[in-house]
Amino acid sequence: MVDIEKIQKTFHKYYKHTGKLSIDPQSGLISCTGSVRSNWGYGDSGPTTLKVKFEKIRYDFNVGHGNLESLEGAPVWVGKNFSCSANKLRTLEGAPQHVGDSFDCSHNELTSLEHSPQKVGKSFRCYSNQLSSLRHCPQEVWDLFCMENRLTSLAGAPVKIRHELRCWGNPLESLEGMPAQLPLLWLSYSPTLPLLRCLNAKEIWQGIGWPVEVLNILRKYAGQGEAGAFACGAELASAGYKENARW
């Protein structure tokens, strides 16, 4: 048996919630029919651990903007959105394995996506970390936001991105790993980056430093994939962008 009164007291010290709260009398795991949010607020010191352990949250679970160094005790299942953004996390160990809508681990100190949830219904947001690889990403998402990391390629990216990929602000050397079909791509320009894989995207939006001529040529063939690569490459090379005219 666990001390339910102590768990309740600790929970209410660090969290607020909507819906009905329940605590398993054997395990002490907390479930909620609504949402749970930390109450340490923006810029507060906050704890380095979650202090209590969760099981299932019907709607949102938000423990962002704190000092968390561990996700041990995070819920296994979250029906809507999960956010642990803007903490001091170096690992996602303990993260939920099912998130119905969006998963946000941005603005941490992550060097790996190991232990990421493998089921994310909408957006996967891992931007502003120290990632050198997208390995361990879920294999299908609505959006992938991986900007401002240390990625040199897109290897490990989801096989299927149903809406949007944002990957600007990375030292990309290759677009290897980009899905074969993609509705919308946001990308920073580099004069040495092979760009013909951009043609897998139906729409291409510029990040930083794009020459207008390059963008216009790519948009002319956008969505054609490998079928448009030869003609697009020829135009890029003719315009003086030979390094970009590669797959």
pLDDT digits (tens, 9 = 90+) for 101-122: 999 999 999 999 999 999 999 9
pLDDT tens digits, residue range 202-219?
Answer: 999 986 789 999 999 999
Phi, psi at residue 210, to the nearest 5°? -75, 125
Q: Give the Cβ contact number of residue 240 at 10 Å.
A: 13
Instruction: Write out the DSSP string of 14-39.
Output: HEEESS-EEE-TTT--EEESS-EEES
For the residues 177-198, what does the mean pLDDT come to? Answer: 97
Q: How far is CA 205 from the centre of its chain?
A: 19
- Quick one: which H or E segment has residue 234? helix 229-238
pLDDT at 225 over 70: yes
- 4-39, pLDDT tens digit by residue? 999 999 999 999 999 999 999 999 999 999 999 999
Q: How do residues 123-166 score in pLDDT, each as one tens digit?
A: 999 999 999 999 999 999 999 999 999 999 999 999 999 999 99
168 closest CA partner among 196, 202, 135, 208: 208
Residue 166: beta bridge partners? Answer: 145, 186
